[in-house]
Structure 1
Amino acid sequence: MHAHSFVVHSWLFTDTHRQEAMMKLITVEEHYDTDANIAQFKQYSTVKNNNPRQDQLRPDLVDFDRKIAYMDAHGIDMQIISDAGNSPQVLPDQYAVAGAHAQNEALAEAISHHPDRFAGLATLPANLPEQAAEELDYAVTKLGLKGAIISGSVDGQFLDAPKFDPIFAAADRLGTTLYLHPGIISNQQKAVLYDSEAYSALTATMMAGAMWGWHMEAGIQLVRLITAGVLERYPHVKIATGHWGEFVPMFIERIDGFGPFVSKLPLKFSEYYRRQVYLSPSGMFTTPQMQLALAEVGADHIMWSEDYPYVQTGDTTRSFLEQAALTQPEREQIAHGTAEAVFDLEV
């Protein structure tokens, strides 16, 4: 969720592309916060905020008029917004349920003033799965939110653990979407995988976070879910992932190759993946990743995202997609069609 360096490969900008410049654009991994949650996080969370720009970005997180001004300036019609990372999910259990509920109420209220520009994903007290399932049901059926976001492992636990089944059961019953967002990895993971005497502590922190580590953990999260049979048990859950799938698309065939040795499931890993998982770039506007995602899952499983306000690419958010080597149906599907289906948006 930190700023990235982007390598953008442009294609010939044809007259056809100019005519298509006004296509609807929905971005799906965009973020908000509230001052109440920021204060609660600072007071109670034992998970450190490792984003040095968090305070600087506060106006862009909490002020929805600023969001709309940015969207208007750069041709973004709608954002699907969520509280990622520094959310009530990581609060101690005694604060997580009330904190998530308050955050969801605040999000629904903000969306109600701009329903044509925003839709939202709920925050869940994920370490308390029964209460999380209740909050998901309430957020979707009463508040009109379009699913929920879960950031990283949950207090060091991966979501394939049986204790988390109530969350997936509720999402399955609702036919809704769970966005699996990266989260700050555990201190134990960081110590083993990224700390080194050969480089600085700051380098280790970046490697363990937005540069590599939390994306790798998010990919592991998804591989474990499918391998453990969670998507077999809950076929109506839609899973959204950012950053071009958090490394998983590159290994789909490799994982399938080991399937007979590790899985008794009726379908291949790739079949569950292509049935229920949806990808977006999260501001990583790069040609090779887009080409790989298209080859592995197709445009009807790809959505668009910028990761605002942590990533702000301005006009590139639209121009990269407009100039990409896609058919017009593929371009429209990625720009808004897939998001409309995944998040049950009114067309």
Structure 2
Amino acid sequence: MPTIAIILGGIKLKLVTVEEHYDTDRNIKEFNQYSEVKNNNPRQDQLRPDLVDFSNKVAYMDKYGIDFQVISDAGNSPQVLPDQYAVDGAHAQNETLAENISKYPDRFAGLATLPANTPDEAAKELDYAVTKLGLKGGIISGSVNGQFLDDPKFEPIFAAADKLGTTLYLHPGVISNDQKAMLYDSKAYNALGATMMAGAMWGWHMEQGIQMLRIITSGIMEKYPHFKIASGHWGEFVPMFPERIDGFSPIITDLPLKFSDYYKRQVYLSPSGMFTAPQMQLVLTEMGADHIMWSEDFPYVQSGNEVRQFLEQADITDAQREAIAHGTAETVFDLK
């Protein structure tokens, strides 16, 4: 992996970002044709060149000093297609991702799209993607047709990830219409306001925090201690509450460890372009730099020089900076 030489206190800081995204023309066409979930980004057509063309990604990385990206498809992915299209769609998406990575092996690694609503097929695809295509884990976006991942039907996915010792990235997804209507629609503001509140402003992240709470509380990490979870947006609210959750957990579970023990053992966090000092300090306090990675959420977020400058200028030690910039990601995604 090349190092872009930007000097910080005499140290050349290598920068790896881990929640960066791509798409394919085939998936865009199938999503528009078959998906019952609305496009969750109104700029999708505008962003197409940066999603589809990997040379655009490299040019952006070179311009702003990003050495390496871990790429995945999120949101408008084959995961949300009807089952009869999701399996083949996810497989095609992963084949294309691996082909693109092969052209730039020193700049990209990838995470597999999983047809999560067909868990046995998702487990097979994860195994194939990791063992045959060389991808570094899988990604699941939001709840799955309104179902949370603690449902026993999804256990094959966790069993496969555990056997492989790999990482699942839990990315936000579009929440259900029922959730949106109950929690976010209001006569006090317009429909666009409700959509934003239910999505990138708040709702996606709250639902994904609930996803994490349910996964750990249901005992999945007790049963499967060898897989890892990556979580963006500074942990989707969860790092604010581990002590509170620990206090109530004995009422609802008899797991041998506290919620926070599982969380701090198997979960790794990144900012997803939320370059904000208070959240960074909170997550550092709760998790430590060895559980923090860096991410921009490209191309949905394009922060330019801030991607590197925020981390370079952050009020942290050089050792923490190195871990967050590349060391943790290299461990979590086996980039060495």
TM superposition score category, shorter chain reference: over 0.9
Deviation at 1:80, TM superposition (A): 0.2
Matching residue of 1:110: 100
Cα pair 2:75 2:141 within 8 Å, conserved: yes
Alignment equivalent of 1:328, drawn from 306, 318, 330 = 318
Note the 1:5-16 alignment, pairs <5 A.
none
Cα pair 1:136 1:148 within 8 Å, conserved: yes
- 1:101-147 residue CA offsets vs partner (Å, 9 max, x unmatched): 00000000000000000000000000000000000000000000000
SS of structure 2 residue aligned to 1:179: strand
Deviation at 1:263, TM superposition (A): 1.4
TM-score, scaled to structure 2 = 0.97
Matching residue of 1:246: 236
Cα pair 2:40 2:76 within 8 Å, conserved: no
- Structure 2 residue 193 is matched with structure 1 residue 203: yes
How far apart are the structure 2 equivalents of 1:92 and 1:332?
A: 42
Note the 1:231-242 alignment, pairs <5 A.
231-242=221-232
Gaps of 5+ in 2: 1-6
- 1:185-208 residue CA offsets vs partner (Å, 9 max, x unmatched): 000000000001111011000000
User: Which one is further off, 258-267 or 276-285?
Assistant: 258-267
Amino acid across the alignment from 2:163: R
SS of structure 1 residue aligned to 2:241: helix
How far apart are the structure 2 equivalents of 1:66 and 1:17?
A: 27
Note the 1:273-288 alignment, pairs <5 A.
273-288=263-278
- Structure 2 residue 299 is matched with structure 1 residue 300: no
- 1:17-69 residue CA offsets vs partner (Å, 9 max, x unmatched): 3533x311000000000011100100000000131111100000001000000
- Structure 2 residue 132 is matched with structure 1 residue 147: no
- Structure 2 residue 45 is matched with structure 1 residue 48: no
Amino acid across the alignment from 2:8: H
How far apart are the structure 1 equivalents of 2:10 and 2:146?
A: 49
Alignment equivalent of 1:181, drawn from 162, 171, 175 = 171
- Structure 2 residue 244 is matched with structure 1 residue 264: no
- Tell me how large the CA RMSD over aligned residues is: 1.0
Matching residue of 1:191: 181
Alignment equivalent of 1:65, drawn from 36, 55, 61 = 55
Deviation at 1:304, TM superposition (A): 0.1
Amino acid across the alignment from 1:282: S
Matching residue of 1:12: none
Alignment equivalent of 1:222, drawn from 212, 229, 233 = 212
How far apart are the structure 1 equivalents of 2:221 and 2:9?
A: 41
- Structure 2 residue 76 is matched with structure 1 residue 82: no
Amino acid across the alignment from 1:259: S
- Structure 2 residue 11 is matched with structure 1 residue 17: no
Matching residue of 2:128: 138
How far apart are the structure 1 equivalents of 2:26 and 2:189?
A: 37
Cα pair 1:17 1:323 within 8 Å, conserved: no
Cα pair 1:304 1:334 within 8 Å, conserved: yes
Alignment equivalent of 1:100, drawn from 87, 90, 94 = 90
* Aligned length in residues: 331
Matching residue of 1:159: 149
SS of structure 1 residue aligned to 2:8: helix
How far apart are the structure 2 equivalents of 1:68 and 1:27?
A: 13
How far apart are the structure 1 equivalents of 2:244 and 2:272?
A: 25
Which gives a bigger RCO, structure 1 or 2 (Cα 8 Å, sep 6+)?
1
Matching residue of 2:113: 123
Cα pair 2:270 2:292 within 8 Å, conserved: yes
Deviation at 1:266, TM superposition (A): 0.3
How far apart are the structure 1 equivalents of 2:90 and 2:170?
A: 17
How far apart are the structure 1 equivalents of 2:73 and 2:321?
A: 28
Cα pair 1:180 1:239 within 8 Å, conserved: yes
SS of structure 2 residue aligned to 1:119: strand
How far apart are the structure 2 equivalents of 1:259 and 1:124?
A: 31
How far apart are the structure 2 equivalents of 1:260 and 1:141?
A: 39
Give the ranges of 4+ consecutive aligned residues of structure 1 lying more than 2 Å apart after TM superposition: 16-20
Deviation at 1:260, TM superposition (A): 1.7
Amino acid across the alignment from 2:311: L
TM-score, scaled to structure 1 = 0.94
Matching residue of 1:35: 25
Cα pair 2:138 2:167 within 8 Å, conserved: yes
% identity of equivalent residues = 77
Cα pair 2:27 2:93 within 8 Å, conserved: yes
